[in-house]
Amino acid sequence: MAPFDQQRLLAILDYWHKVEFFVPYGLDQRLDELEDWQSKVILPQACLDAGSTQWNHMDVPVDQEIISYSLFLGVFDKSAVLSLCEKLVPVPAPLSAAARFEEEARADLEGQTCFARISLDKSGCPLAGSISISTAPWALGQALSHGLGALGATEFESARDDLVNRFNNFFATRVDNASGPLTASEVLSLHQTLCQWAGFYPGADQPLAVLEVKTKARTTQAPDDASDQEPATLQEEEDEDDPVDDLDILNSFYIGDLERAMHSVRTGNVPAALRQYLTPLADDQRLDLYSNAGRELLYQRLRPRHLSIGHWLGNAEHPMSLMQQFALNQAGADLQYNGLFAVNGPPGTGKTTLLRDLFADNIVRRARVLSGLSSVNDAFSTQPLTVRFMDEQRKVWPLIEALTGFEMVVASSNNAAVENISVDLTKRSALDAAWQSVGYLQPVAHNLAVKVKKSGPVFPKGRDVPWGLVSCALGNAGNRRRFREGLFFNEFESDKTERPQTLWKWFDQAQPTRFAEARAAFSLADKAVSAALAERERLAQLLEELGDGTQASYVAQAQQAHTQLRAGVEAADAAVRENLRLQHVEGQECLLLVEQQRLIDRTSPGWWARLWRTQSAKTYMGQCAENAKLQLESHARLRALKSEAVTLSCQLAKLDAQRQAGERSLAQRSRDWETKTAERAVLEQRLGVPVLPAALADLELPQFQINGLWHDAQFARLRSALFAAALQLQQAWLHEAGQPKNRMRSNLWVISNLLNNKQPEDAGHVLPIWQNLFMIVPVVSTTFASFANQFRGLQSDALGWVFIDEAGQAVPQAAVGALWRARRCVVVGDPLQIEPVFTLPRQLITALGQLSPFTQDDSYAPHQVSVQRLADQASRFGTYAPMMGQRLWIGSPLRVHRRCYDPMFSLANRMAYDDKMVLGHAQRNAPDAPLIDLPSGWVDIRGNVTRKQVVYEQVEFMAKVIVCLFQRDQALPGLYVVSPFKAVRQALRQHLMQVKWAGAEPRRTDLKEWLKRNVGTVHTFQGKEQDTVFMILGADRDHAGGAQWAASKPNLLNVALTRARHRVYLVGDIELWGELEHFSLAARGEHALARLTRNAFGILNKSGRAQASPDRLGQA
C-alpha cells in the first residue's frame, strides 16, 4: 500500500475512533424498557454510611425471583458533554433557527449516561469479568487536560490497562469477602476510582449509581440455563465470566472494530471491501447509467447469459424491474471474489426482492458444490480440530474450502429492517402460492417461530407459519441464546398437523428424500436451467445477428464485400487487357523499326564512301544508330509490359479467387439467414417473442423499466425450481450429515456452545464453527451494534457476503467491522430518506475532523454522511441525482416503485427523485374501500404552540379520529401517525392515554402497545408501510424554526409520504407549511393535496355507534 493511501485510511478510521470516544452511553434508553420496580437510583447520601446494608434493597414482586443485578456507576446527564464541549472547542457562529432544530432533532443529548456497568450475582456479589466502561468520561477528562489532539487508540489502550489494574486491586481487597455482596462503601470507592481514572467528576447533584434487578418467574424447575426461562423481565448480557484482563466498552459498539481495521491498515492488509468503502472514485472512473454508454451496459448486462441461476420462490409471472435485474447481474459479476457494490433504493422499489434473489443464487451455487460430493462426509476436511472451551473440549470438522465463502449476513442499524428481511423470509407469506409445498427444516423453523409469553407459548398462524429455516435474526447475546434454545432444546407441543421440532428431534425423523436422491434431483434441475439459459442466450445471439429481420440487411455486408471484390476483379482484368494491348502496340513498333532498318540498309553507300566518310555515309550511319536506339527502347518497354503482365495476371487470379470466395460467402450468408431465421422461429415459437427496445433510448420507457428484459414465466419457474431443489439437497445433506457417527453431529455441539456465548480458547476455531452454522441457516442477521460481539474472533475477509440494509440511516463508522470481516458487500439504501442520528454536538465532530487534513472537509463526518453515501461514492456504476442544489453521485438506482399510489408517489418522485421513479401499478389511484372514505389531503388546522412544537388543536383532532375509528370498527385502526417532532409524538400519546372514552374502549395495555407501534416521529417509521398515514406538523408562525428545519431537506416529508400506500393526510397550518420548500409541492401545483377541514372527518361520526366524549376531544 502506498504511504499516502495508508495515511489517508488511518486518518479516516482514527477520526471515527475519536468520535466514538465521546458517544455517551444511553442509560435512559435502557431504563425506559423496565418496570418501575426493576431499577433504583442510588444517591450519594444513601452510601455515605459505610455500614448501610439497604443501599441495594429492591421491592421485587412475589412472583419473581432475583437472578442478578446490573450496577451502573457514575451517573450524569448527557448535557454535560455539550457543556464541556463548549470549553473544548471554539464557540461556533450562532446557528439559524432551522439549524438549532436540526441539532435538537438529530442529536441525542438528553437523558442520563454513566461511567461503567458492573454485573452482580443474585446476592449482590460483583462478577470480576463483567465490567464494561464508557469511554466518554475518560475522553472528556483527557481532552480537558491535554486537548483533543491527545486522544488516540494508544492513549486509550494505556488508560484501559491502568483501569484494569485499579479494578484488580479493588478485587484483591475483597479477598476475605470474595463471595459477599458489594457494600455501600465499596460502591463509593468504585465511583471514586472511576472519577480519578477518567479525570472527570460529575456534579454533586448527580446520582451515584443506578441499580437494575433481573428476575425470572418463580418456578419449581431447575433449568441448566437461565435463558431457558421465559421471564419478560429476564435480560441477557454478553459474556460475564471472564477474568479482569480486559474491559468491554459500554458506550460504543464500534471502537474495537475500528482498532482492528486500523491495525490492518498499518500492516498493509486491508480487505478489498473496506478499502473500496473508504476510497471515493474520481468522476472519470464512474459510468452514468443514464448516459448512452450506461444504457449500452444495461442492455448487455441484461442478456440471458448474465441472469442469476437461482430465483426466489415467487410468482413467475411477475418480472423483476430492469434496474433490479441490472443490480443483481452486475453485483454477481463485480463480486465474484471480493469488493463492494452499492444499490440506491428509494422506498417501494424492491430492495428486499433484490436481496432475496441474491440469497437464492448463493444457495444454488453452494448446492452445486454439494451435488459434486460422493458422500455427506466429503463436505468436511479429513482432519478435525480440537476446540477447547473454558470447561470442555470438542472436535469440529471444518468444511472443505469449496463450501466456504457462501456465508450471508444481513446487517443494519435499523432493527425493523433486519427483521423485515431475516424474519419475514421464513414466513409462508414470502412464497407464492405455487411454492407453498416447499419446505426447508420446516418443523425446526416452526419451533423457532413460537413466541413464549407468561401465559404460555403462542404459535404462529396462517401465513405467518414458517415454511423454512433459510434465515434467522441473531444479534445480541439474548437473541443468540434464544435461537440456540429453540434450535436444540425447547420443543413446543402443538395439536396442529405441522408440529414444531428441535433439530435433534428432526434428526430422529425419517426424511422422504435421501442425499443421493436429492443430489440427482438437483442435477436434473440444474441441467434444465442450464439448457433453458443456453436456449435464451442463443435466441439473444440470433436476434443480435439477424438485425432488423430482413435478409437484405443480414447479407448486406457480405453483398457489399462481394460487390467490391467483383469491381476489383473487373478492374484487374481491364488492366491485364490494357497490358496485352500495349504489348501488341509495342510489338508492332518493334516490327516497324526492323522494317525501317531494312529500308535504311537499302540505301547503304558503298565501302569507298564509308571509308572516306562521305556525307551519304554519315547520313546512313546516323539513321542506323537512331533506329538501333529506338529498337532498344521498344524492346525495353515490351519487356516491362510482359513483366507487368505477369504481376497483373497474378493479381487478377488472386482477386478472382477472392471474388469466388466472396460469392461462396454471400451464398453461405444467405443460407445462414435461412437457417438462423428458421432456428429463431422455432425458438420464438417455444419461448415467445421477447420484447426488446428498438433503440437504447427506449430503455427509459416505463414498459422496459417495469418489465425488464428477457423475463419469461417458464424460465422463472425453472430457476425457482432449481432453488427449491437446492434447499432439498441441503436439507437431505444436513439430515444425513447430522446422524450419529457422521461429522456434522459433533459440530452441532460446538455450534451450540458458540451460540451460548462461549468462546473457543483459540480464536482461529471460531470461523469453522460459524461456517458450519451457515450450512444449517444460510442467512443470519444482526444489527451493527451487535456485529462485533456476534462475530467475535473472526478475522478480516472471514464472511463470504454481507448485505447492509437501510444504509442511508447508518453512521459511516457503523459498517467498518462488517466490511472488515466481509469478502463481498452489497450496500442498499437511500440517502434521501432518514439520515443517521448522531449523538454528539456538531462543533465537536467538526473540531475532531480538523485534526487531520484528510478529514477537514466533512467528507467522512458522521453528521454529514452515511454508510450509503460512502458506498455510493465508491461505486463505479450509478448516476447523478440533484440534492440541495448539488449533483450527488448515487449507486446503481432502483426506479420502479410498487408501494404508493398517487398523490404520494408523484409528490415524492418530484420532490426527491427528479421524476426518475416509475410507477409500477397499473393505475395511479388507490383502490376503493380505504380506512377513511376521503381522498388524501391537507387538513388545515391552525393554533398556537403550547409546548415546543405542539399545537393542541392538531393533537386533539388526531385523537378524535383515532377514537372514532375505534368505536366504528371496534378495533384500533390500521394507520400510522407520524410527526417531525418528538414533542408532538409524546403529546398525542399522553392525550390518548388520558382520553375519557364514551362507550367501547380498548384495553389499556393494547392501547399502550398500539401507540408505541403506530405513533412516533418520522425517523422511527423508516422501512415500514401502512395503507393510511397521518402526519401532524405542529409549529406556528412564532415558532417556525422547527418547520423551517423539517422543510430544509426532502428527507422527512419523503419518508412520511412513502409510508402511505393508499392515503396520506398532512395535519397543520397550510399557510405556514405550504410556503416552505418541499411542502409547497403538497400545497399547490400539479400534485397538490386536496384541502380538507376537520369537518370533513365528520363522516366518521355517522356509523351510529357511541362516539368519543366531546368535552375531552373538542369539536369535530
- For every residue of 363-391, DSSP letters joined together read HHHHHHHHHT-SSGGGGB-SS-EEEE-SS
State the pLDDT at residue 51: 55
pLDDT in tens, 197-228: 999 988 888 889 999 999 988 765 444 443 33
Give residue 93's pLDDT: 67
The identity of residue 954, as a single letter, is Q
The residues, ordered by sequence, that sit 6+ positions from 864 with a Cβ below 8 Å of its Cβ are 858
State the residue for C-alpha cell 456497568.
117
Crossing angle of helices 292-301/322-334, nearest 10°?
80
Asked whether 283 and 17 are in contact (CB, 8 A), the reply is no
The reply to whether 875 and 914 lie within a common domain is no
Residue 727 · residue 442 · CB < 8 Å? no
Final residue before a domain boundary, out of 855, 879, 898: 898
Q: Which amino acid is at 549?
A: G
Inside any domain, residue 848: no
Residue where a domain terminates, one of 880, 898, 916: 898
pTM of the model: 0.90
d(CA 824, CA 337): 7
597, part of any domain: yes
Whether residue 659 is contained in a domain is answered as yes
Average pLDDT of adjacent 10-residue blocks, the chain of 1116 residues? 92 96 89 86 72 76 90 89 76 69 66 92 86 92 89 88 89 78 88 93 87 82 38 36 59 93 95 97 96 97 95 96 97 96 95 96 98 96 93 92 98 83 89 95 94 82 92 91 93 75 93 93 98 96 87 88 92 92 89 87 77 81 89 90 91 92 91 92 92 95 96 96 98 96 93 93 95 98 94 96 95 97 97 83 89 94 95 97 85 96 95 94 82 93 93 95 91 95 94 85 91 92 91 93 91 95 96 95 93 89 43 32
DSSP 712-767: -HHHHHHHHHHHHHHHHHHHHHHHHHTSTTSHHHHHHHHHHHHHTTPPPSSGGGHH
Q: What are the angstrom distances between the C-alpha of 504 and each of 55, 487, 685, 741?
A: 47, 8, 51, 14
SS (H, E, C) 996-1051: CCCCCCCCHHHHHHHHHHHEEEHHHHCCCCEEEEEEECCCCHHHCHHHHHHHCCCH
One domain for residues 913 and 882? no
pLDDT computed for residue 205 by the predictor: 83
Q: 344 and 236 in one domain?
A: no
964 and 1102 share one domain: yes
| 1046 alpha carbon, distance to own chain's centre | 27
Instruction: Write phi, then psi, for 213 (nearest 5 degrees).
Output: -105, 140
Are residues 202 and 336 located together in one domain of the fold?
Answer: no
Return the closest-CA partner of residue 446 out of 429, 467, 471.
Answer: 467
The amino acid at 170: F
As a whole number of angstroms, the distance between CA 524 and CA 522 comes to 5
In a domain, 620, yes or no: yes
Instruction: Return the DSSP state at 107.
Output: -
Do 882 and 934 have their domain in common?
A: no
Residues 639 and 744 in one domain: yes
Q: How far apart are CA 735 and CA 643, in angstroms?
A: 87
pLDDT at 950: 95
Per-position DSSP letters for 172-224, written without gaps between them: HTTGGGTTSPPPHHHHHHHHHHHHHHHT----TTS-SEEEEEEEEE--S---S
Q: Which of 854, 905, 865, 917 is nearest to 888 (CA)?
A: 865
Backbone angles phi, psi at 435, to 5 degrees: -115, 15
Residue 753 lies in a domain: yes
Whether 266 and 273 have beta carbons less than 8 Å apart is answered as: no
CA distance 830 to 869: 9
Tell me which DSSP letter residue 763 carries: G
Task: Look up the domain containing 565 and give its range.
Answer: 274-831+866-898
Query: Would residue 841 count as lying in a domain?
Result: no
Q: Print the SS3 string covering 245-282.
A: CCCEECCCCCHHHHHHHHHHHHCCCCCHHHHHHCCCCC
Q: For position 1038, which CATH number holds?
A: 3.40.50.300
449 and 514 in one domain?
A: yes
Based on the structure, what is the number of domains in the chain? Answer: 3
Q: Are residues 202 and 318 in the same domain?
A: no
Residues 308 and 238 in one domain: no
pLDDT of residue 1112: 32
Enumerate the β-bridge partners of residue 887.
882
As a whole number of Å, the CA-based R_g of the chain is 40
Are 113 and 179 in a shared domain?
yes
Omega before residue 903 within 30° of 0, cis = yes
Is 5 part of a structural domain of the chain? no
Report the Cα–Cα distance between both ends of the chain, in Å, rounded. 69
- 284, with CB counted inside 10 A (0-12, 13-18, 19+), is exposed
User: Taking the mean position of all CA atoms in its chain, how far away is CA 796?
Assistant: 19
Residue 465 domain-assigned (yes or no) = yes
User: What percent of the residues of the chain are helix, what percent strand, and what percent coil, each to the nearest 5?
Assistant: 50, 15, 35
574 plus 512 within the same structural domain: yes
